[in-house]
Structure 1
Amino acid sequence: MTLDIDLDFGITPKMPRDRSMRIGCIGSGFIMNDCHLEAYGQVGFNPYAIASRNRAHAEAAATRHGIGVVYDSWQDLVADPQVEILDIAIPPDLQVDVIRAAARQASHIRGIQAQKPLAMSLDDAREAVKIAADAGIALSVNSNMRYDQSMRALKSVLDRGWLGEPVLATIEMRAIPHWQDFLHKYRRVELINMGIHHIDAFRFLFGDPEKITCLARRDPRTKFDHIDGITQYTFQYANGVMATSLDDVWTGPKGESDDDIYIRWRVEGTEGLAKGSIGWPKYPARTPSTFAFTTKRTPKAWISPSWDAVWFPDAFAGPMAQLMCAIEDGTEPELSGRDNLRTLACVEACYRSIAEERTVRFDEFDL
Structure 2
Amino acid sequence: MEPSRLPELDPHPGYTLALPDHPRPIVVLGAGGIVRDAHLPAYAKAGFDVASITDLRLERAEELAVQHGVPATYDDVAAAVAAAPADAVFDVALPPEAHVEVLEQLPDGAAVLLQKPLGNHLPDGVRTREVCRRKGLVAAVNTQLRFAPYVAAARELVAAGTIGELYDLEVRISVNTPWEMFPYVLDLDRLEINMHSVHYLDLVRSFLGDPTGVSAVTVRHPGKSHANSRSDIALHYGDRPVRVVVSTNHDHHFGERHEESFVKWEGTRGAVRAQLGLLLDYPRGGEDLLEVVTDDRLDEGWRPVPFEGSWFPDAFIGSMSVLQRHLEGSIPSLPTSVEDVFRTMAVVEAAYRSAAAGGEPPPYDA
- Alpha-carbon contact 1:112-1:139 (below 8 Å) kept: yes
- Alpha-carbon contact 2:198-2:344 (below 8 Å) kept: yes
- The corresponding residue for 2:101 is 97
User: Structure 1 residue 112: deviation in Å?
Assistant: 0.5
User: Structure 1 residue 175: deviation in Å?
Assistant: 2.2
- Alpha-carbon contact 2:178-2:282 (below 8 Å) kept: no
- Alpha-carbon contact 2:96-2:120 (below 8 Å) kept: yes
- Alpha-carbon contact 1:129-1:338 (below 8 Å) kept: yes
What's the TM-score once normalised by structure 2's chain length? Answer: 0.86
Q: Give CA deviations for 1:291-319 in whole Å, capped at 9, x if unaligned.
A: 11122454544442223411111211000
Q: Give CA deviations for 1:51-80 in whole Å, capped at 9, x if unaligned.
A: 112111100000011110100222321233
The whole-number CA distance in structure 1 between the counterparts of 2:155 and 2:223 is 35
The whole-number CA distance in structure 1 between the counterparts of 2:356 and 2:185 is 19
- The corresponding residue for 1:294 is 293
User: Structure 1 residue 222: deviation in Å?
Assistant: 3.6
User: Structure 1 residue 138: deviation in Å?
Assistant: 0.9
User: Structure 1 residue 220: deviation in Å?
Assistant: 4.3
- The corresponding residue for 2:45 is 42
Q: What residue identity is the alignment partner of 1:340? A: V
- The corresponding residue for 1:276 is 274
The whole-number CA distance in structure 2 between the counterparts of 1:157 and 1:258 is 29
The whole-number CA distance in structure 1 between the counterparts of 2:37 and 2:63 is 12
User: Structure 1 residue 88: deviation in Å?
Assistant: 1.3
User: Structure 1 residue 81: deviation in Å?
Assistant: 4.1
Q: Give CA deviations for 1:164-185 in whole Å, capped at 9, x if unaligned.
A: 2222221111223343333344
Q: What residue identity is the alignment partner of 1:186? A: L
Q: Give CA deviations for 1:145-177 in whole Å, capped at 9, x if unaligned.
A: 111122112222222222222222211112233
- Alpha-carbon contact 1:288-1:307 (below 8 Å) kept: no
The whole-number CA distance in structure 2 between the counterparts of 1:64 and 1:54 is 16
The whole-number CA distance in structure 2 between the counterparts of 1:289 and 1:258 is 15
Gap change, CA 1:308 and 1:55, over 3 Å in 2: same
What's the TM-score once normalised by structure 1's chain length? Answer: 0.86
The whole-number CA distance in structure 1 between the counterparts of 2:170 and 2:38 is 27
Aligned pair count reads: 340
- Alpha-carbon contact 1:33-1:61 (below 8 Å) kept: yes
User: Structure 1 residue 130: deviation in Å?
Assistant: 3.0
User: Structure 1 residue 134: deviation in Å?
Assistant: 3.1
Specify the SS of the correspondent of 1:162: coil
Q: Does 2:195 match 1:196?
A: no
What 5-or-longer segments of structure 2 have no aligned partner?
1-13, 361-366
The whole-number CA distance in structure 1 between the counterparts of 2:70 and 2:224 is 37
- Alpha-carbon contact 1:26-1:90 (below 8 Å) kept: yes
Equivalent runs, 1:268-347 vs 2, <5 Å: 268-281=266-279, 282=281, 285=284, 289-296=288-295, 298=297, 300-301=299-300, 302-329=302-329, 331-347=332-348
Comparing 74-83 and 61-70, the one that deviates more: 74-83
What 5-or-longer segments of structure 1 have no aligned partner?
1-9, 360-367
- The corresponding residue for 1:213 is 215
Gap change, CA 1:299 and 1:249, over 3 Å in 2: closer
- The corresponding residue for 1:157 is 157
- Alpha-carbon contact 1:11-1:153 (below 8 Å) kept: no
- The corresponding residue for 2:27 is 24
- Alpha-carbon contact 1:220-1:250 (below 8 Å) kept: no
Equivalent runs, 1:52-67 vs 2, <5 Å: 52-67=55-70
The alignment's C-alpha RMSD in Å is 2.2
